[in-house]
Amino acid sequence: MTDFLLIYQGGDPKWMEKSTPEQRQATMQAWGNWFKQLEASGNLRNPGAALAPGGAVLTKNTRGIQTDTSMAEVKELIGGYSVIAAESLKGEGDAPGATAYVHYNGPTDQLATMCTGMCVLEPGATPHPPHTHPEEEFMIVASGTGVIEVDGKPTPVGPGAIMYCGSNVSHGITNTGATPMTFYWSKWTAKGFE
């Protein structure tokens, strides 16, 4: 098993003030459920910890050892960490020959929604027929060959190919090669466009 370090974005320090008690409860419930699922499946190696806003000092033999600094440039980026074993995490989706892994799904500072992840397609597989959704989307092909269709126009693709698709434009991807095809996706809706 390979362990991976998840690093959490620092987030909005005023989130507690801006959110309702119901929103805070729902967010913490979802977070707790995710950790319970990781623990029950044996994937949670180390629940980690939040980084203290003011830094933390460990003391040994009366000497202080700085373990967590309060540098603004770091604290804005990193809010905490966890360690998981990712090789046995269950992929999502029920399309035959397609296994998707969602890496992030939620809001960001500037986006109302952001979903990003990876999908592996076996030869001949597609994650779904061409479809539309309100989010804009990028797909980046990492390996394998296939066809990406955007607004009814098919384009042969291989490693390094990038697709951009606007909101509510039909698009899809199919592995037409003889080996597995891996691609990454990111789709989002900007704040004010929900």
pLDDT at 70 over 70: no
Looking at per-residue pLDDT, the higher value among 62 and 105 belongs to 105
Percent of the chain with pLDDT over 90: 36
Q: Which tokens in the block code for residue 44?
A: 């949670």
Q: Which domains does the chain have, with CATH numbers?
A: 3-85 (3.30.70.1060), 98-190 (2.60.120.10)
What's the pLDDT at 66? Answer: 47
Say how far apart CA 10 and CA 7 lie, in whole Å.
9
- CA max distance for the chain: 70
pTM of this structure = 0.59
Q: Where are the alpha helices (DSSP H) in the chain?
A: 15-18, 21-40, 72-75
